[in-house]
Amino acid sequence: MSKIRIYIEPAGIKNQIQIKEKAVIHKAKDVLRLNKTKRVYVFDGQGAEYLYRIREMDKRSILIDQESVERKETPPSKKIIVGFPLIKEDKVDFILQKATELGAYAFWPFTCERSMQGEFSCLKLERWRRIVIEATRQSNRVWLPQIMRTSSIKTLIAREFDIKVAASVDGQNLKGVIKKQWKELLFIVGPEGDFSPSEYQQLREGDFGFVKFAPHILRTETAAIFGVGLINYSMDVHR
């Protein structure tokens, strides 16, 4: 059976932790059917994972004792920041989940001419964060991707990164675009209907390279997920 992992914020990591979150308790008791003396792994989203043993369990809480530090990882030497336009909720969920599993370091939602407009509420951002936490837990990662505040595409273009890449059906091969060493790479995808001509001009003036992933047009969520996986694989990000 795969190991049981629980996310606790760094400030909450102690020798003994009392867990009161209803969702965690339900999963531990009713889904995984854990009991006293069973071990669980706790990760803090900042590179550390710990082994704990369950001391007490009831309907309202789980008390666990720390036994050892299992992993300590430094931040990734190559960080992929995924920029995506505001689109339908289920598609954003899919991007967050799968790109986290594939190694995205951070997410940057943005608005553009053909995207949805506005900024999501705090409740929406919290929901996104829960999706990222669950994907981090499931994929055995110890660094939790950050979700940046929604900005305009103009603001995003102006930010400095070692490499800036945009998906485009008229782009080039990935290795033909990424020709130098990098530590932070911004990879963005366009909305349904693509970027507007003026936005393409802004991207070119902002030193973006354009990458083609397929001979045909991909959906926003498909391009985002496939792009992260391809960059990770082709650029040896985790090797």
DSSP 38-98: -EEEEE-SBSEEEEEEEEEE-SS-EEEEEEEEEEE-PPPSSEEEEEEE---HHHHHHHHHH
Q: Which residue has the higher pLDDT, 93 or 2?
A: 93
Our CA angle for 97, 81, 201, nearest 5°, is: 120
pLDDT tens for 151-174 read 999 999 999 999 999 999 888 888
Domain spans, the chain: 5-72, 79-234
CA distance 202 to 189: 14
- Mean pLDDT across 35-60: 92
Q: Which CATH architecture has domain 5-72?
A: Beta Barrel (2.40)
pLDDT tens for 76-92 read 999 999 999 999 989 99
Q: Across all residues in the chain, what is the average pLDDT?
A: 90
Which distant-in-sequence residues (6+ apart) come within 8 Å of 225 by Cβ? 94, 95, 98, 99, 102
pLDDT of residue 175: 82
Residue type (1 letter), 19: I
How far CA 223 is from CA of 26, 58, 72, 122, 143, in Å, comes to 36, 45, 32, 27, 23
Return the CATH number of the domain spanning residue range 79-234. 3.40.1280.10
**Same topology for domains 5-72 and 79-234, yes or no?**
no
Q: How many Cα atoms are found within 13 Å in the side-chain-facing hemisphere of 238?
A: 14
Instruction: Read off the tokens for 199.
Output: 């936005």
Instruction: Read off the tokens for 216.
Output: 């045909």
pLDDT tens for 92-113 read 999 999 999 999 999 999 999 9
pLDDT of residue 121: 65
Least confident of 94-108, 115-129, 214-228: 115-129
pTM summary value: 0.90
**Does the structure show a pLDDT above 80 at 191?**
yes
